[in-house]
Structure 1
Amino acid sequence: MRRGEQRTATGAGRRLRTPLLALLAAALLLGGIVVVPEPAEAAPRQSVSVDATVGNDRLVTVRVTCGAKSCRGKVTLRLSTGAKKTLSYRAAKRATKTLNWKLSVSSYRKFVSRGSAKLTVSGKAVKPRKTSFTRTATVKPAKAQLSLRQQSATIGEDRTVPLAMRCGASAGCTARVELRSSGSAIASAAVKTAKRGDVTVRLTVPAAQVPRLGDRAVHQLVIVESRPDAVRQVAALTLTKATPEPEPVPERTASVAYAQRNWTPTSYDTCPASLHEQYRTVGPDGKYYPTWHPAQVTDPATGELCTFGHEHGADPTESDIYQWVADFFSPSDLVEGEPQGLPFGYASEELDNHIAAGHSHLSMRHEDNGGHKVFLRNDVALVGDGHRNVTFENADGERERVVCDFLIKAHQGSWSPDATANNAHELIYAVRCNDGTELISTTLSRYGDPNEFNRSCASGTVVQTRFSQLPPATTAGGGRLIPDRGCAQAAVTAGSDIWSIYEVWMSANELTTADGAVVAAFDPWFGIRNPSRYYDSRTSTETSNGIGRPVDLLWEEGTAARAASVYPWSTVAGLERFDYRDPRSPFDGAQRDFYLGQNRVTGLPGSPGFYTDPYGGGARAEASQGAIRQWAVAGAVSADLSLERLQFDLNADWGKNNGVHAPN
């Protein structure tokens, strides 16, 4: 009989009376074990029922119901295994007093080991009149009614574990099922059935716990029943992790940068083109693009180091904001296992689409693979005009310095005549600051106007060139300082030095709306200390601008003697003449530095994500053909900053002892 129910000695639920004592009612249950008492005597106006449900909770419950004005007395319970308990009671009229006897652990174990015990119930009523009684019954340990019908289960992709269980009690089962691993509970579920039969219980494993559950590992399943009896059992359960069906990889097409402008080896390189093609990423448009790779890697076909002959600057994965940026560039249908990274040539790809969408007055613009260079700097404390710290008020009301992480990819080719005329070069610019500033931008950045550049050794002098069809700059402040032959010659003459051929590419960028409102403005500069070309009008033709090679000054009449004693020509002085592409040349375009300048972000009202044309204009919330997605969030002070220009990587050499050479 279940706890809380009252039965008379006849088992029919009616009250029997005697002159002296209350009826001892009851089914005496020990964990589902029914106790059948002997016939009871007639009772005064009170009754006693004993619920001897001795399950894992070790409880025997006594209830006294008073039918008189008030009742008082004692009930003594004694098991033949040695346990004994006397309980006193007081109860008001029509009230029931509940008394619990909890067996000691040793008494309960002794009782369970015997398998049964004789229970003697004796009572002494003092009020409303003195009476006494004695009853006996045989009790047995409770049995579990809820059983697990399997020894193993699979954790589904939704992290649920389905368990087949069966309730053996005709009146149903109530329990709690708990999955434990290494002694700790990781999932649980309640079970409640109204009748005997099968039931499926589903446990949901928290996502953080799934990695802790080894595949095909054995765990504990604890089943704690509360109805019909308090019974606790432990079962072994082997868990298997579901092997999800791999998502089908979408069919990807190749961008122009990947299919047509990718790298091909020269006679100085030892890596195959097929290995270079493995360094790719999926761009926002779902196409494959080249991306960053080391200058030399181990060729899996040979197990030996091989060289690509070019480098892409800093490893972007060392940036604190790399994953944030890589996620931004990933398409919505990217599946697990597909590559992420910085897509080289994405702005040029969208320019083609922009032209096809009705902007035929613009010219296409695709750049070589080797010119894509990565620059990064973590934890940059911004410095304002006058060398003052830039601060903001943080959430605690304290002044805190503005610190930012920068990840930049610029195309900066320094080996061909391209930059002497073309002013637009792809730029990825990403920054995130502790004042809340966020910016990710991809554009064709215009470094001054096309068909001209300023001399690196005389920045006020403009040199006119030809053949570019790219649009002029719309933002002041940009330009390209490139050496011409006069600068190269000056580098090896008395009183001059290598800085005469130092290139500086000064970008000046704005993301603007159609009516000219500025969403973001930024202007990083990029320097090259050892370019492998200078402009030489003497070699210009009807179709291209002429260039010369700085390394050749070492063997030219009029410059050879002086060049042999000037760094870096002096490092190869005395060698027989070699080609400018030879890795021995100190002019490989790999000694680069960069400058951080202004970083103003206002954002587009109502949307941190928005779209511009490939040159950064026409910012709007809606996407369109040829538009590039940008991201801008204004921080606490970023929209009003006026910053000092900071220089980084002044001693960096990305082509040292790794096979890098021009063209790079």
Structure 2
Amino acid sequence: MQKQTPQLWVLALLLLACNSPEATPPVAPPGQPTPVAGQACPDWVHNSYVTKGPDGEFYPTWHPQVDPEYKCYFTHEHGDDPRTSLANPELPPFGYVGKLAGMPEAHEGFKVFVSNRGTRNDEDRLALTSTRIVAHMGTGGVRRYSVRQHSLMFDLVAPSGHRVSVQGMADTGLVGSICDRDPTLNDADLSNDIGRSVMTLPGTGCHSQNPGSLYEIWAFKLRLADKAEVIASTAVFDPITTMNPANLSELHYTEQVFRGFTGLRGCNRESYHGPVYWYNANGPEVFFTDAFGKAGGPIRQLVSRHNDIGIWMSQRSDGFLNQFKLPKNHCAPGLGLLN
């Protein structure tokens, strides 16, 4: 992980601290608050987590919820550590794709989902490929109800030689309730498909005043120059906000709408890796697109030379599946209402 500390005085302080025979308390830059263990980190600590993007510029990137050096915490989290991925261990540049698309995305919403080959989930399914999803899906605000395109980075490596490493603004479809989703997906009319299924106010969907569970799931679809289509889904069991279908700009906190739920922070999630469709038998493997997947542009894409409508990505005792589901819980003390 790269922390941006180019100033000479910072390096001098670090050398002094390393040479001290006694433990040295954290040293803040001049004019900046000192980090305190067990409290929220100052902004300058958060801003030190950066990585270089494909354009040579520095971008915010993944960080742990608790800073390992100062032991202070951040009020948001980004999910799995991308460096543990067997498909792509590089730190993702949050905001790179959105910048190219002219669609800035809130930093707190970037989430990472890692699934490595050999992982077994809670349903006794075994991952047959290594995949990594970096999706923009926060549940603390209301813009997600009206914004259809969200950034997606997707990496896959399979023993068969199938591979993708792609990114762009994915189509997440229309927004609606879970009870409206399936009828729209099965009516053969692609124009009305609900891809972002969210909680809605009682009386506006299929949610009662006291639902047994809370659930929000998005489907990301990214088509790349007619060479590949990547589909991934991400979901949360504790969405921070709930939608009013009559006014998408209204802010309603879920724990205030539905009784009996507290501490909802959008941190208990699951991911669906795949399917992926290859239309690239004749290559080339590396090509360039714009932020929306159209041929020509600055974004480097990699798609292996295959022509396959999906590959087996998970296995269970009664057969094979074309995707792999993996739940993860990243809830921790200190998370706020923007996550």
Choose the corresponding residue for 2:310, options 641, 645, 648.
Answer: 641
Give the drift of 1:492: 6.1
Tell me the residue number matched to 2:329: 653
User: 1:113-152 counterparts in 2 under 5 A?
Assistant: none
Tell me the residue number matched to 1:316: 82
Choose the corresponding residue for 2:280, options 603, 606, 610.
Answer: 603
User: 1:190-205 counterparts in 2 under 5 A?
Assistant: none
The amino acid that maps onto 1:307 is Y
* Identity across matched positions, percent: 23
RMSD between superposed Cα atoms in Å: 3.2
Tell me the residue number matched to 2:196: 480
1:482/1:504 contact within 8 Å kept = yes
Choose the corresponding residue for 1:459, options 181, 200, 210.
Answer: 181
Secondary structure of 2:176's match?
strand
Secondary structure of 2:160's match?
coil
Choose the corresponding residue for 1:506, options 213, 219, 237.
Answer: 219
- Show CA shifts across 1:557-612 (max 9, x none): xxxxxx34xxxx2xxxxxxxxxxxxxxx4210011101123212233745321101
The amino acid that maps onto 1:372 is F
User: 1:548-627 counterparts in 2 under 5 A?
Assistant: 548-553=252-257, 563-564=259-260, 569=261, 585-603=262-280, 605-618=282-295, 624=297, 627=298
The amino acid that maps onto 2:77 is E
* 1:370 correspondence with 2:108: yes
1:456/1:487 contact within 8 Å kept = no
Deviation above 6 Å: which 4+ runs of structure 1? Answer: 474-478, 487-490
The amino acid that maps onto 1:639 is D
Give the drift of 1:445: 0.5
User: 1:99-178 counterparts in 2 under 5 A?
Assistant: none
User: 1:535-554 counterparts in 2 under 5 A?
Assistant: 535-537=243-245, 540=247, 545-553=249-257
- Show CA shifts across 1:111-163 (max 9, x none): xxxxxxxxxxxxxxxxxxxxxxxxxxxxxxxxxxxxxxxxxxxxxxxxxxxxx
Give the drift of 1:533: 0.5
- Show CA shifts across 1:207-239 (max 9, x none): xxxxxxxxxxxxxxxxxxxxxxxxxxxxxxxxx
Greater strand share, structure number = 1
Task: Give 5+ residue unaligned stretches, structure 1.
Answer: 1-248, 250-264, 327-340, 352-363, 382-388, 390-400, 463-473, 513-517, 555-562, 570-584
- Show CA shifts across 1:169-193 (max 9, x none): xxxxxxxxxxxxxxxxxxxxxxxxx
Measure the CA separation in 2 of the matches of 1:602 and 1:493.
47
Secondary structure of 2:138's match?
coil
Measure the CA separation in 2 of the matches of 1:487 and 1:634.
50
Measure the CA separation in 1 of the matches of 2:39 and 2:127.
44
Measure the CA separation in 2 of the matches of 1:604 and 1:349.
31
Tell me the residue number matched to 1:123: none
- Show CA shifts across 1:597-642 (max 9, x none): 3212233745321101111122x5xxx4xx211011135xx62436
Measure the CA separation in 2 of the matches of 1:642 and 1:487.
41
Q: Relative to 1, partners in 2 of residues 1:475 and 1:312: Cα closer, same or farther, differing over 3 Å?
A: farther
The amino acid that maps onto 1:409 is V
The amino acid that maps onto 1:370 is E
Tell me the residue number matched to 1:431: 156
Measure the CA separation in 2 of the matches of 1:587 and 1:505.
18
Q: How many residues align?
A: 287
Tell me the residue number matched to 2:140: 415
- Show CA shifts across 1:369-407 (max 9, x none): 0100000111169xxxxxxx9xxxxxxxxxxx9932101
2:275/2:323 contact within 8 Å kept = no
- Show CA shifts across 1:308-335 (max 9, x none): 1100000111111334xx3xxxxxxxxx
Tell me the residue number matched to 2:47: 277
Choose the corresponding residue for 1:447, options 154, 166, 172.
Answer: 172
1:522/1:598 contact within 8 Å kept = yes
Which structure would you say has the larger RCO, counting Cα contacts within 8 Å and 6 or more residues apart? 2
Measure the CA separation in 1 of the matches of 2:209 and 2:100.
46
User: 1:49-88 counterparts in 2 under 5 A?
Assistant: none
2:170/2:221 contact within 8 Å kept = yes
- Show CA shifts across 1:345-379 (max 9, x none): 1111222xxxxxxxxxxxx3111101000001111
Tell me the residue number matched to 1:289: 59
2:231/2:275 contact within 8 Å kept = yes
Q: Relative to 1, partners in 2 of residues 1:413 and 1:461: Cα closer, same or farther, differing over 3 Å?
A: farther
Tell me the residue number matched to 1:663: 338
Give the drift of 1:413: 1.5
2:169/2:222 contact within 8 Å kept = no
Measure the CA separation in 2 of the matches of 1:438 and 1:525.
19
The amino acid that maps onto 1:278 is S
- Show CA shifts across 1:241-273 (max 9, x none): xxxxxxxx9xxxxxxxxxxxxxxx9xx961011
The amino acid that maps onto 1:532 is I
Measure the CA separation in 2 of the matches of 1:430 and 1:478.
25
The amino acid that maps onto 2:308 is A
Give the drift of 1:491: 5.4
- Show CA shifts across 1:63-119 (max 9, x none): xxxxxxxxxxxxxxxxxxxxxxxxxxxxxxxxxxxxxxxxxxxxxxxxxxxxxxxxx
The amino acid that maps onto 2:235 is G
Secondary structure of 1:631's match?
strand
Measure the CA separation in 2 of the matches of 1:535 and 1:402.
34
TM-score w.r.t. length of structure 1: 0.40
2:219/2:233 contact within 8 Å kept = yes
* 1:497 correspondence with 2:212: yes
